[in-house]
């Protein structure tokens, strides 16, 4: 019987054949272990595939995605993923990845009702209220969207660093850093937001540094 998703099944077979042709031992090695260095917490947007846009093969990035790349202290899904990545897989980097033109970010700016997801986007609304003066200074909506995408990624790094998971890892001397990025759908480039936190003491200085960088840099749409 033909699957209603046969196009995807066929694509899978082509991809597997291609990988086998490049490296006959690829799947054998992949099945034996999972040892990524990175935990990627990104947006659910289908246009932002984690490994592909940083040119890494399967097995190199552990991934958690949700609408608008939020790290909420009440989200057991995200926290469980983070705990497994940090405590079991021993990842060295957690990367919070926003993307310009994010629909969730735009819904917050438009104060648009979408349904149940509005409750989730309240977390982004809190970020927008915290930085209301900075956002109000930007006339173009596309520029305001870009700036809130950046601010949200920075604030979610702060939330990540304040979890018991990350704090405990630092307390026991584990090598772990947390970073903020924003991805451009327009040109495929990643923007490093200059927030790299590797200790409890480093959080506030890095946070202030990242915000000052945004204040000094011209706002753009990507």
What residues are labeled active site? 43, 45, 47, 99, 102
Per DSSP, what are the bridge partners of residue 179?
95, 196
For 127, residues 6+ apart whose C-beta sits below 8 A from its C-beta are: 148, 151, 152, 155
Per DSSP, what are the bridge partners of residue 62?
39
Report the Cα 218 to chain-centroid distance in Å.
23
């Amino acid at each position: 019987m033909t699957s209603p998703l046969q196009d995807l099944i066929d694509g899978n077979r082509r991809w597997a054949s291609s990988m086998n042709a490049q490296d006959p031992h690829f799947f054998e090695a992949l099945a034996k272990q999972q040892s990524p260095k990175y935990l990627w917490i990104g947006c659910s947007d289908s246009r932002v595939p984690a490994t592909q846009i940083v040119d890494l093969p399967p097995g190199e990035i552990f991934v958690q995605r949700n609408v608008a790349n939020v790290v909420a202290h009440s989200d057991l899904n995200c926290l469980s993923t983070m705990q497994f990545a940090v405590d079991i897989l021993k990842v060295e980097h957690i990367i919070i990845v926003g993307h310009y033109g994010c629909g969730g970010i735009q819904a917050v700016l438009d104060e648009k009702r979408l349904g149940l997801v509005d409750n989730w986007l309240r977390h982004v609304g809190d970020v927008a209220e915290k930085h209301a003066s900075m956002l109000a200074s930007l006339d173009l909506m596309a520029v305001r969207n870009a700036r809130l995408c950046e601010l949200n990624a920075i604030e979610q790094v702060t939330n990540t660093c304040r979890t018991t998971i990350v704090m405990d890892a630092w307390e026991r001397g584990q090598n772990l850093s947390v970073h903020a990025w924003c991805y451009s759908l327009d040109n495929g480039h990643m923007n490093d937001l200059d927030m790299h936190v590797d200790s409890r003491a480093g959080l506030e200085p890095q946070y202030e540094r990242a915000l000052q960088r945004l204040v000094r840099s011209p706002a753009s749409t990507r």
